[in-house]
């Protein structure tokens, strides 16, 4: 409205000057007929008068052009402001700004923030955290705000619990300090992401992982059950035979004691097998990381698979060239190695003189564990699907298809890797995990 009024004023002024100039010449012509000196004066002053008129016209034209430029600039600024507001209010993340010099009161809050807090923008602007959150939470937020300016650096708060009309929500927040030209604190810019659903999903995945892990362990125990039964039956047969002989040797203390000690060894052998089975069947939500000797993990893994290897007439070979330790949950790493050894036994058992070899060595700060077998190998088509859940090349009823998928997941949690090494002639699965030189 004001712009239209200014344009009208300029148009009226220009019209008046044009009318004044237009009426000036007839009047002068009339006067010049009566007095020649007036004609001479007209001739002398006409350039000056015309120049003044031209100046006034040019000045008013410039004002009109400035007005047009200002109009376009204003439209551009308003367009940019509208674009920024559109972007901010359509972002799924919460964006806010606080004024350092006004007690960290909000000067900006986008639609995602309004939706989270259940308030309109006008109810948020000019308010601080203390107007919306419990005292303890508000003090914690303000402490972080001050820390941002004290350090002069962006900080990330991985998990921030807040109270909202919808209940407790967990945010991941990034806070950025801004400064004026003279270096004094100005605005704090914040971006928050609501990660509540992600954390709930992560917990569900952990629970599912635990169930899958238990399923895999039970499947492994089922595969080993025949060999374990054989391992227990042997010492039981020894105990049974010794008991019969001990009846005869009641009058011979030396022979009686010898059979007694032999029976004790057999009982300890059975107890060791049962303890191992109980330990192997343990399931926890999170890996219990301890510094563990690689050699001990390999020995425990082999002890679980020896009976099954013997049952399938498969030799297990160990080439351990490492004294390193790794930070891990030893039971979970044992399960991975047991799964790989059992897979190797299944692949090799149909061939002549089947074998499975375990190699361990150190390479550039990592422990490398390889499980090789004498089987027919893995085709390129199968390789691309090896680590997919429920994919298996075994006969129906022989494999769950969970082993390699779960093994890879377990190692990922340990920042370790599992892959098929194609550089060797035999099938070779390779584990790489960071070695530790610290004390046990």
Separation of alpha carbons 109 and 124, rounded Å: 7
201 in any annotated domain = no
Separation of alpha carbons 48 and 411, rounded Å: 95
Is the same domain home to 68 and 107?
no
Is the same domain home to 270 and 403?
yes
pLDDT score recorded for residue 216: 64
Separation of alpha carbons 413 and 280, rounded Å: 18
Question: Where is the domain boundary, 162, 194, 226?
Answer: 194
- 221: nearest Cα among 304, 337, 311: 304
Is the same domain home to 283 and 379?
yes
Is the same domain home to 261 and 359?
yes
pLDDT score recorded for residue 26: 59
Question: In this prediction, what percent of the chain has a pLDDT beyond 90?
Answer: 20
439 in any annotated domain = no
Tokens representing 164?
């909202």
440 in any annotated domain = no
Is the same domain home to 142 and 180?
yes
pTM summary value? 0.48
Task: Considering only the C-alpha atoms of the chain, give the largest distance between any 2 of them, rounded to a whole number of Å.
Answer: 173
Is the same domain home to 243 and 353?
yes
173 in any annotated domain = yes
On the question of pLDDT at 196 being above 80, the answer is yes
pLDDT digits (tens, 9 = 90+) for 384-410: 777 765 556 665 445 444 468 778 888
Q: What is the CATH number of the domain that holds 228?
A: 3.30.565.10
Is the same domain home to 276 and 405?
yes
pLDDT score recorded for residue 202: 82
Separation of alpha carbons 214 and 201, rounded Å: 20
- Residue carrying the six token digits 């290897």: 309
- 323: nearest Cα among 358, 345, 348, 292: 292
Which domain range does residue 270 map to?
Answer: 206-434
* Numbers of helices and strands, H then E, in the chain: 11, 12
Is the same domain home to 59 and 125?
no
199 in any annotated domain = no
On the question of pLDDT at 134 being above 80, the answer is yes
Q: For the residues 303-324, what does the mean pLDDT come to? A: 88
Given pLDDT bands bounded at 50, 70 and 90, which one contains residue 244?
A: confident
CA 123 → CA 101, 119, 163, 217, distances in Å?
20, 6, 17, 56
How many domains does the chain contain in total?
A: 3
Helix, coil or strand: residue 249? helix
Is the same domain home to 128 and 157?
yes
pLDDT digits (tens, 9 = 90+) for 64-97: 677 777 777 777 777 777 777 777 777 888 889 9
152 in any annotated domain = yes
User: What is the DSSP code string of 53-91?
Assistant: HHHHHHHHHHHHHHHHHHHHHHHHHHHHHHHHHHHHHH-
pLDDT score recorded for residue 256: 83
pLDDT score recorded for residue 401: 41
Is the same domain home to 332 and 353?
yes
Question: Where is the domain boundary, 70, 89, 108?
Answer: 89
Q: Which residues pair with 325 in a beta bridge?
A: 293, 436
Question: Where is the domain boundary, 194, 228, 260?
Answer: 194
On the question of pLDDT at 56 being above 70, the answer is no
Is the same domain home to 81 and 179?
no
Given pLDDT bands bounded at 50, 70 and 90, which one contains residue 235?
A: confident
Helix, coil or strand: residue 415? coil
Q: For the residues 277-284, what does the mean pLDDT come to? A: 60
200 in any annotated domain = no
Q: What is the CATH number of the domain that holds 141?
A: 3.30.450.20
Is the same domain home to 184 and 311?
no
Instruction: Using only the alpha carbons of the chain, give its radius of gyration.
Output: 44
pLDDT score recorded for residue 265: 77
264 in any annotated domain = yes
pLDDT score recorded for residue 340: 92
């Amino acid at each position: 409205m004001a712009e239209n009024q200014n344009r009208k004023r300029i148009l009226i002024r220009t019209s008046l000057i044009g009318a004044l100039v237009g009426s000036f010449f007839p009047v002068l012509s009339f006067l010049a007929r009566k007095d020649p000196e007036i004609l001479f004066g007209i001739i002398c002053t006409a350039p000056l008068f015309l120049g003044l008129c031209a100046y006034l016209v040019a000045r008013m034209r410039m004002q009109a052009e400035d007005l047009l430029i200002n109009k376009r600039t204003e439209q551009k600024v308003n367009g940019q402001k509208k674009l920024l507001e559109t972007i901010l209010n359509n972002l799924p993340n919460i964006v806010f700004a606080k004024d350092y010099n006004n007690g960290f009161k909000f000067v900006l809050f986008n639609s995602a923030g309004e939706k989270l807090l259940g308030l309109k923008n006008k109810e948020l602007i000019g308010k601080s955290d203390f107007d919306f959150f419990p005292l303890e939470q508000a003090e914690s937020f303000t402490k972080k705000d001050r820390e941002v300016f004290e350090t002069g650096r962006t900080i990330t708060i991985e998990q921030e619990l807040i109270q909202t009309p919808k209940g407790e929500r967990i945010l991941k927040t990034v806070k950025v300090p801004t400064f004026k030209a003279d270096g004094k604190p100005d605005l704090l810019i914040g971006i928050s992401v609501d990660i509540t659903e992600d954390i709930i999903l992560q917990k569900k995945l952990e629970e599912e992982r635990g169930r899958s892990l238990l399923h895999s362990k039970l499947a492994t125990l089922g595969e080993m059950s025949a060999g374990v039964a054989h391992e227990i039956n042997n010492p039981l047969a020894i105990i049974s035979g010794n008991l019969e002989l001990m009846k005869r040797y009641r009058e011979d203390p030396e022979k009686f004691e010898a059979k007694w000690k032999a029976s004790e060894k057999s009982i300890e052998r059975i107890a060791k097998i049962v303890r191992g089975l109980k330990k192997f069947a343990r399931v926890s939500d999170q890996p219990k990381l301890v510094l563990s000797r690689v050699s001990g993990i390999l020995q425990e893994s082999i002890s679980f698979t020896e009976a099954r290897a013997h049952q399938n007439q498969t030799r297990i070979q160990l080439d351990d060239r490492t004294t390193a330790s790794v930070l891990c949950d030893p039971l979970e790493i044992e399960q991975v190695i047991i799964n790989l050894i059992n897979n190797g036994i299944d692949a090799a058992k149909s061939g002549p003189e089947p074998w499975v070899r375990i190699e361990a060595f150190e390479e550039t700060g990592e422990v490398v564990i390889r499980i090789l077998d004498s089987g027919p190998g893995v085709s390129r088509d199968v390789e691309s699907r090896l680590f997919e859940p429920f994919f298996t090349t075994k006969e129906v009823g022989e494999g769950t298809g969970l082993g390699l998928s779960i093994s890879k997941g377990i190692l990922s949690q340990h920042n370790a890797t599992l892959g098929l090494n194609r550089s060797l002639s035999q099938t070779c699965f390779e584990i790489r995990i960071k070695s530790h030189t610290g004390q046990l």
